[in-house]
Amino acid sequence: MKAEILRLTRAYSEAMHKANRPGVENAHAFTPGVSTVPYAGRVFDADEVEAAVGSTLDFWLTLGPEGEAFEKELAQWMGVKHSLLVNSGSSANLVAFSALTTHKLPAHRRIQPGDEVITVAAGFPTTVAPILQSGAVPVFLDNNPVTGNIATDRLEEAFVPGKTKAVMLAHALGNPFDVGTVLEFCRRHELWLIEDNCDALGCTYSMPVERAKALGFTENSPGIPSNGTHITRYTGAWGDISTQSFYPPHHLTMGEGGAVNIVSRPPLKSYAESFRDWGRDCWCASGKDDTCGKRFAWQLGELPQGYDHKYIYSHLGYNLKPLDPQAAIGRQQLRKLPAFIEARKRNWEILRSGLEDMGEFFEFSLPTHATGWTSGGGFDWDSTHCRTDCSWFGFMLRVKAGAPFTHTDLARNLDEHKIGNRMFFGGNLLRQPAFVQLRKDRPESFRVVGEMRGADEIMRSALFLGTYPGLTGAMLDYEIECVKAFVKSVKSK
């Protein structure tokens, strides 16, 4: 019966979900000006639908065998020690940060209320929210508007001995931040590095072998084999702990979902797992008992000897697990991830080439360490000999100050033509109502180092178009055509 149900499930999906196939396979009719061009969306086929239905028929529901398998497969793919599934990327950031607040860490490494964490002003709010929610103090540095990432020139100025405990940064729109500089800073001052990799799954960062070895990496480190001159790892595999989002716009999807990646320190897994799973001290998976072999032999806190380890709580935690059918979907998506990454790169290049003659009006993004783009898909690079390979989340445009239109004018026009677009998330978060109010209520709750000129420029001038794998050639051509037509119409006025 199950086999017949799954056979019919595939047939149904193949008939009903044509529009969700990858762009290169998509036979779904596109009518310019009538059909919507999403900035992002779900890309899947019958494999994911069959996996979801099959897991639901098994009716484990809570995180179980599919989740366990996906966690292992994701960790292996990324080259990290462990991955823990959670119910969203925001939850992943909360769990990752919370893991570094545990009393089980040495006192000088533990992040406690009042300690400081360096971050960046422009981005998505839930990169920063866990810092505040844990009682720590975010210290904001400016963005480089060309890359969207942190401007690293004031890291030392932001550091306060004894108070600064970590750096928490996102790789902006699938563009790695300057991992080399940030990691050297963290190693020098014994700080945690938390990589928000939610928009960047599949990006790589390369640095010369000797520089990487000085940071503790070897040519035999898990991940991408060294080519003899550079050590290359996926983003999310350089810091101490990292996060993923599997919300539909992201590089792969579980519907809702995310992950916390433990890069190289196994104890962080049990801390993160505890915060994810109600704060309990026990590490047994749901539905399993006594994997430690001494379930009734523990004495912790002021509990009596032998109190059931399944109900001992070492942290004030949450319940942030996803469902097993979601993990079944994620496993199928992971198998498609290499093709998804290549599609994102290809779509970015199509947009960049197509809008090249718009340089009078737009500033274009560059990968970190790149100094210029060359037609045909190449980049010129800086003298650090570090390289980035971007799995682009979006194609960012910044409207030049002298242009006869604003980014809001462009966004409104694109919206009228049914072309999905987004601002660079929250822009300068310090201008958001929540932070303006926080500054009034508790001015000591965050600190700002330097002027936020780059973050303000991003806020006032930037938007991004989609690069996701569901875009077809016709959709991308239509986007380019509409941007050019808009610029032409404004110029002629």
Q: Which helix (H) or strand (E) holds 54?
A: helix 46-58
- Count CB neighbours of 393 within 10 A: 28
CA dihedral 175, 238, 343, 418 (to 10 degrees): -40
CA of 190: how far to CAs of 48, 161, 271, 377, in Å? Answer: 43, 10, 19, 38
CA of 242: how far to CAs of 200, 212, 311, 361, in Å? Answer: 11, 19, 28, 37
State both tokens at 268: 């962080």
417 is catalytic: no
Would you list the DSSP string of 67-102?
Answer: HHHHHHHHHHHHT-SEEEEES-HHHHHHHHHHHTT-
Work out the burial of residue 360: count CB atoms within 10 Å of its CB; fewer than 13 is exposed, 13-18 middle, 19 or more buried: exposed
455-469 as b/e: b if 16+ CB within 10 A: bbbbbbbbbbbbbbb
State the Cα–Cα distance between residues 277 and 99, nearest whole angstrom: 12
* Pairing between β-strand 387-389 and β-strand 204-208 as defined by DSSP bridges: antiparallel
Q: Which of 82, 250, 251, 407 is catalytic?
A: 250
Contact 152, 384 (CB under 8 A): no
Q: Name residue, tokens 């996102």.
A: 170
Contact 48, 14 (CB under 8 A): no
State the Cα–Cα distance between residues 212 and 193, nearest whole angstrom: 16
Which are the catalytic amino acids?
Answer: 250
